[in-house]
Structure 1
Amino acid sequence: MIILNLPPCKFKIKNSENKRLIFDNLRKKYIVLTPEEWVRQHYVSYLINEKKYPESIIAIEKQLTINGLKKRTDILIFNKNGLPDIIVECKAPSVKITQSTFDQIARYNLKLNAKYLVVTNGLSHFYCQIDKKKEVYTFLKDIPSYK
């Protein structure tokens, strides 16, 4: 797998039935190791080890319904009140981050009302803070560490 623009991590990887699998510590099971999953696992590790977010407030592939369609967030982080705080959309390193990527996460946020949005392909990371009252967003250099 490609080296990402995130801190290096040690993962449990195995082969099974001609597929490479990576152990997801949050879901407590092996997952097919796709390029997008490689990015997601690195980003979760970054959140936990660098930004100090507790595992207990991070959800992977949380399902939501938008206009009658079932969707899933890649990573969803809840605040201390149990409300969505940060949505992370992960793409494979080969996928260029475009306006449609931001449109996707913005649609999710219409339902979730998170304060921060993150879009990453593991090489480039984009961070936004949403001000719901003023209806504006501000690009940031990073998301805040857990407090």
Structure 2
Amino acid sequence: MQPLKLPEFDYQIENNKILCLIRKKWITLIPEEWVRQHFINLLITHLAYPKGLFKLEQTMSYFKNQKRSDIVVLDRDGKVFLLVECKAPSIRLDQKVLGQVSAYNKVLDARYLAITNGMNHFIWEKMEEGFNQIREFPNFN
């Protein structure tokens, strides 16, 4: 897998599977999963997000379709704090990707929305008048 613009960490890979930092089980190592595991590491190790508040591939209904979010982090009250859509490094982060995370957020109502392909990362914070793009990912505290 290619190097990402995310902090390195001590991951475990065997038989084309990576050990998930949250689920503690082996997941097929595809480029999107490579990005997800690196991003999870960033949140936990560098921004103090508690492992127990993560939900991965949470199923939701959107216009009668079943969709799955990549990373959801709850706050201590059980509300969605951060919603992250991960893409493979080869996928461009464009309006379509932003539309996807925005559609998921109509169901989840997150305080922060993010998209990443491991090379580029964008985050928005919910304000009274909508979402504003911010420069840095918030610490959990």
Shorter-chain TM-score: what band? over 0.9
2-structure distance, mates of 1:37, 1:113: 24
On the 8 A contact 2:73/2:81 being kept in 1, the answer is yes
Give the TM-score, by structure 2 length: 0.97
Of 96, 109, 118, which residue of structure 1 is paired with 2:105? 109
CA-CA distance at 1:25 after TM superposition: 2.4
Of 69, 72, 77, which residue of structure 2 is paired with 1:73? 69
Of all paired residues, the percent bearing the same amino acid is 36
The reply on whether 1:143 has 2:106 as its aligned counterpart is: no
Of 75, 86, 90, which residue of structure 2 is paired with 1:94? 90
Q: Partner letter of residue 97 of structure 1?
A: L
2-structure distance, mates of 1:48, 1:11: 14
Give the TM-score, by structure 1 length: 0.94
Q: Partner letter of residue 72 of structure 2?
A: L
2-structure distance, mates of 1:144, 1:45: 14
- Paired residue for 2:28? 32
Give the structure with higher Rg (CA). 1
Matched ranges for 1:41-80 at <5 A: 41-80=37-76
- Paired residue for 1:8? 8
On the 8 A contact 2:70/2:84 being kept in 1, the answer is yes
Provide structure 2 residue ranges, at least 5 long, that are not aligned to the other structure.
none
Provide structure 1 residue ranges, at least 5 long, that are not aligned to the other structure.
none
Q: Secondary structure at the match of 1:41?
A: helix
1-structure distance, mates of 2:136, 2:114: 9
Q: Partner letter of residue 73 of structure 1?
A: S
CA-CA distance at 1:44 after TM superposition: 0.2
Deviation by residue 1:80-128 (Cα, 9 ceiling, x = unmatched): 1001111000000000000000000000011111010000000000010
CA-CA distance at 1:27 after TM superposition: 0.9
2-structure distance, mates of 1:128, 1:63: 22
